[in-house]
């Protein structure tokens, strides 16, 4: 479970950075990846990355501003050329379906795979045996959502060494024990699952926010997240400008991470006025005065999602 940035700029592309798109790589968990927002030029960014659109399973759109959706029609129509024949689902606010249907129909784009467009207004958006995704409305000029991605708890590990000592060989009995079921051996001995299976391993949580000013929805959505992705369009000296344009500052993002008890904070969606990395480093320093475990998003940089309980002390 890893977060990978394809674009980190706000509003318009710049020479140094593309507009917003984030991939959540789930290669180990389900051999796919999910995408959050798809700004103009995202498919070009994908071509420069280790990602392949044939592995793209779901797209979650935070809001319908162009720097978050203008890359969708092109990416959807060209996905099949990268082996994307499996079904694909796109989630987002009302209006997304009309945007995509008009764009694809007028351009006579051929989409040779099953494409589902799911509009929502928050709540539980998706759930299966491995993950669930919830959304909440934020505070932006148009409806903008944040997404909380929760990995379901994983079963504990089977103590195979003890089972071998007891004479139980690998087979269906191992599977029953892993599922929490007790097993009776041929000689009548009962082996309790709780005696040979460790405690379940808690799932990880990632929160990815759309554009927003500070608002009450952020903290519940981010509560206890192992990794929080929060926009930081401006430095703190431009707080008034951030408020007027319905965006957040570095300090506001850091305060949200601290209040939510997040494990790590990754800042993204930077104004073009911060054109190079040296311009962004003061933003990082600002945020770290409030929340030390803060990182800067960078194009083509991978951020592993580490359980807070698994992080080394002092990290």
Retrieve residue 277's tokens.
Answer: 């990395």
Q: Looking at the predicted structure, is the pLDDT value of residue 309 above 80?
A: no
Q: Looking at the predicted structure, is the pLDDT value of residue 313 above 70?
A: no
Q: Looking at the predicted structure, is the pLDDT value of residue 314 above 80?
A: no
Retrieve residue 133's tokens.
Answer: 């995704």
The answer to whether 305 and 206 are in contact (CB under 8 A) is yes
Q: Looking at the predicted structure, is the pLDDT value of residue 127 above 80?
A: yes
The reported pLDDT for the residue numbered 80 is 87
The reported pLDDT for the residue numbered 184 is 83
Q: Which of 67, 143, 226, 293 is catalytic?
A: 67
At 312, the pLDDT band (50, 70, 90 cuts) reads: low
pTM of the model: 0.89
Q: Which of 109-113, 117-121, 172-176 has the lowest mean pLDDT?
A: 172-176
DSSP for 210-256? -S--S-TTHHHHHTT-SEEEEE--B-GGGHHHHHHTT--BHHHHHHH
Cα-based torsion angle of the residue sequence 301, 275, 232, 29 in order, rounded to the nearest 10 degrees: -10
**Kind plus residue range of the DSSP H or E element containing 77:** helix 72-78
The reported pLDDT for the residue numbered 315 is 52
Q: Give the Cα separation of 81 and 226 in Å (integer).
A: 35
User: Structural domain boundaries of the chain?
Assistant: 2-154+201-310, 160-196
Q: What's the mean pLDDT in 65-76?
A: 97
DSSP assignment, residue 312?
A: P
Share of the chain above pLDDT 70, in %: 99
N-term to C-term CA, the chain: 19
The answer to whether 45 and 21 are in contact (CB under 8 A) is yes
Buried b (16+ CB within 10 A) or exposed e, 63-73: bbbebbbbbbb
CATH topology of domain 2-154+201-310: Metallo-beta-lactamase; Chain A (3.60.15)
Active site residue 278: no
Retrieve residue 55's tokens.
Answer: 């592995």
Q: Give the Cα separation of 274 and 280 in Å (integer).
A: 6
């Amino acid at each position: 479970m890893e977060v990978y940035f394809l674009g980190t700029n706000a509003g318009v592309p710049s020479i140094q950075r593309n507009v917003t798109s984030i991939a959540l790589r789930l290669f180990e968990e389900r051999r796919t990846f999910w995408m959050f927002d798809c700004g103009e030029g995202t498919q070009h960014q994908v071509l420069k990355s280790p990602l392949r659109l044939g592995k793209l399973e779901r797209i979650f759109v935070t809001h319908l501003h162009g720097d978050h959706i203008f890359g969708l029609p092109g990416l959807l129509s060209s996905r099949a050329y990268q082996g994307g024949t499996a079904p694909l689902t796109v989630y987002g606010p009302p209006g997304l379906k009309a945007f995509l249907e008009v764009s694809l129909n007028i351009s006579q784009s051929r989409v040779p795979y099953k494409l589902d467009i799911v509009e929502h207004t928050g709540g539980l958006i998706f759930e299966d045996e491995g993950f669930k995704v919830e959304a909440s409305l934020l505070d932006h000029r148009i409806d903008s959502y944040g997404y909380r991605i929760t990995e379901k708890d994983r079963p504990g590990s089977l103590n195979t060494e003890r089972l071998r000592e007891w004479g139980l060989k690998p087979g269906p009995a191992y599977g029953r024990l892993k599922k929490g079921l007790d097993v009776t051996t041929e000689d009548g001995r009962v082996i309790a699952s709780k005696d040979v299976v460790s405690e379940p391993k808690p799932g990880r949580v990632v929160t990815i926010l759309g554009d927003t000013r500070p608002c009450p929805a952020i903290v519940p959505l981010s509560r206890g997240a192992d990794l929080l992705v929060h926009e930081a369009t401006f430095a703190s000296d431009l707080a008034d400008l951030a408020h007027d344009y319905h965006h957040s500052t570095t300090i506001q993002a850091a305060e949200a991470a601290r209040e939510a008890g997040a494990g790590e904070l990754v800042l993204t969606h930077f104004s073009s006025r911060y054109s190079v990395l040296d311009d962004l480093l003061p933003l990082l320093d600002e945020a770290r005065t409030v929340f030390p475990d803060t990182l800067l998003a960078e194009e083509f940089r991978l951020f592993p999602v580490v359980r807070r309980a698994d992080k080394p002390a002092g990290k």
